[in-house]
Amino acid sequence: MPKEKPTGYEPLYALKNIAPDVWIADGGWIRFYGIPFPTRMTVLRLASGDLWVHSPIADEGGLPEAVAALGPVRHLVAPNWIHYAWVPSWQRRFRNALTWASPGVVQRAASRGMRLHIDHELGDAAPSEWAGDIDQRLADSGLHREVVFFHRASRTLVLTDLIENFEPAKMPWWTRPLLRLGGVCDPDGKMPRDMAASFLRRPQHLKDLMGTLRDWQPERVILAHGRWYPSNGTAELARAFRLLE
């Protein structure tokens, strides 16, 4: 890590209840192409009482035990091709949980020397295991594949990298020009420019996807990286995707 220590989203590895049956947990930092990223996972409790864990972070600080205290962990979700690093450790902790992954996750993991077991590949429609609670869509540019989720009861949209919103003051100084160049700095976080360019190869798919997100009318939008949106979620979507309309 650089000498200037990022401040992160403390407390780390602690569950934060943000809506009925919705929690987030902020974790430590990872590097992607050399740039440090803060991490965040989301936990939803389904109507059945089962727990759904999105983009698991490092299992530190008693976090798995805190999650288990909420109910039985039944689903571990790797939502896109680069959010899988800590899935194996959660699989070891929760051996009865099913693992779900976006298309391309297993291949990406293999290319990095990790043999990742999954039970089911995620698609454009919610499986029966959570269809009564969560809607989903597959965002697929051909290069980036990410499944987005909408928890109907709480009107919470769970994204991973489709919007990134890094707060410059929380990031090392040397990363700030790069993040501004990528268009992913708070208060105007957006889809990273390279990702947006890949989606322009499939304009109708992108248009349909954005229409679905707007139709869901989310109140809050959880992001994996940076400041998330606890309110005015639909307006934040319109702002973040305005350049892609």
For the cut 70, the answer to whether the pLDDT of residue 1 exceeds it is no
Alpha carbon distance 227, 189 (integer Å): 9
Residue labelled with tokens 């798919």:
205
Render pLDDT for 92-105 as a digit per residue (tens, 0 to 9). 999 999 999 999 99
pLDDT band at 5 (very low <50, low <70, confident <90, very high): low
Beta-strand ranges (E) seen in 48-203 are 51-54, 73-78, 98-101, 120-121, 134-140, 145-151, 156-158
At residue 84's C-alpha, the angle toward residues 68 and 210, to 5°, is 100
Q: Please answer whether residues 98 and 74 qualify as being in contact, where contact means their C-beta atoms are separated by less than 8 angstroms.
A: yes
Render pLDDT for 24-80 as a digit per residue (tens, 0 to 9). 999 999 887 778 889 999 999 999 999 999 999 999 999 999 999 999 999 999 999
Domains of the chain: 15-244 (3.60.15.10)
At residue 41's C-alpha, the angle toward residues 162 and 98, to 5°, is 100
Q: Please answer whether residues 6 and 30 qualify as being in contact, where contact means their C-beta atoms are separated by less than 8 angstroms.
A: no
For the cut 60, the answer to whether the pLDDT of residue 202 exceeds it is yes
Alpha carbon distance 225, 222 (integer Å): 9
Alpha carbon distance 70, 43 (integer Å): 10
Cα separation values, 149 from 6, 49, 70, Å: 29, 18, 21
Distance linking the first and last C-alpha atoms of the chain: 38
